[in-house]
Amino acid sequence: MSKFVQTQYGTPKQILKFPDHYVALAVTVDDTGVVAGTDGRKIVPAGTILGGGFLADETKKAVAANDATAQGVLFNDTDVTYGPAPGAAIIHGFIDIDKLPTAPAAAAVTALKQITFIK
């Protein structure tokens, strides 16, 4: 039995304030704790604050971490419906705070030393 997935593509949500100045790393986004929406898809939204130790160990999965363990910001929506999936974590740049799914906690802002959040 084969599994077929139909994907619709469009313009991704832009969370960068200045899209010509950023640094992002490839990460594996964890699916643990992600709840499926009404369409049955498990999507981690762009702008999610990430942690999980992926900067020190690239084999570790990126997880939502809006706290002092924050290491980056998820660049694009990432579909984890079928398990952990590849994504990109912004580790340096200027982020439009109004486009984030959740406002960054003060501890996360402090931890993300090379990211500037701008209104």
pLDDT in tens, 50-86: 999 999 999 999 999 999 999 999 999 999 999 999 9
Share of the chain above pLDDT 70, in %: 91
pTM: 0.89
d(CA 96, CA 56): 26
- What domains lie within the chain, and their CATH numbers? 22-34+41-118 (2.40.300.10)
Cross-strand pairs, 108: none
